[in-house]
Amino acid sequence: MATDEKTEALVSLALEGDDSAFNQLVTLHYDKVYGQALRMTKSEEDAKDVAQLTWIKVWKKLSTFKGESAFTSWVYRITTFTALDLIRKRNSNRESASEPDYLENAANSDASSIASPEQVRKLEGKELKARIDDAFSKLPEKLRTALQLREIEGLTYEEMAQQLHCKTGTVMSRLFNARKTIQKHLADLVS
């Protein structure tokens, strides 16, 4: 049985009150929910919390699922909003952080200035990833969510419009603006 068909059958059983069917749904889709949460929160602990909260919300709201979209799209939408709630709370509680001690120690170390080409490539790759992650994190929430749903989750414009409760044109505009903003943050890398 294909995953989509199996999911639909399990959803039907879960809607009838079958706890075992719901547990199977969780097992079948937990890794994807956790993965989405991890990409959004960038923290294993936060991702575990988001995944757990997502499945609690899915259980509580299962009776409201009408099948107008795929069950997985509905679950991922709940995951996205749960992660965004956690990120908002985390950001509002965040104290201004000072530069970590290890950066100062690294700057004052007696490390050799000569590195192998492989070491340089690895360092450049890490620095590039850090720059991209930084640019991504600075995007406004709507742009960041749209880019994540398209580039990481691989959703179509139509699926994104359903998840974000907006028009396809709005999704395309958000993606365009997100990509342009990231390009501006990384402009010095291509010159």
Domain annotation for the chain: domains and CATH numbers: 1-92 (1.10.1740.10), 117-191 (1.10.10.10)
Which contacts of 85-89 are long-range, i.e. CB under 8 A and separated by 24 or more positions?
A: 86/41, 86/46, 86/49, 86/50, 86/53, 87/40, 87/41
Question: Would you say residue 108 has pLDDT above 80?
Answer: no
3-state secondary structure of 184: helix
Q: Decide if pLDDT at 115 tops 50.
A: no
Between the alpha carbon of residue 23 and those of residues 13, 137, 141, 162, 166, the distances in Å are: 11, 34, 32, 26, 32
- When the pLDDT of each residue in the chain is averaged and rounded to a whole number, the result is 77
Report d(CA 161, CA 41) in Å as an integer: 22
As a whole number, mean pLDDT of residues 110-123 equals 45
Between 191 and 69, the higher pLDDT residue: 69
Give Dmax over CA atoms of the chain in angstroms: 67
**Across 77-90, average pLDDT:** 83
Residue 17 φ/ψ, nearest 5 degrees: 100, 10
Q: In residues, how long is the chain?
A: 191
| pLDDT band of 94, cuts 50, 70, 90 | low
Separation of alpha carbons 191 and 173, rounded Å: 26
Integer CA distances (angstroms), 123 to 19, 176, 185, in order:
49, 30, 19
pTM exceeds 0.75, yes or no: no
Tokens of 157: 């414009």
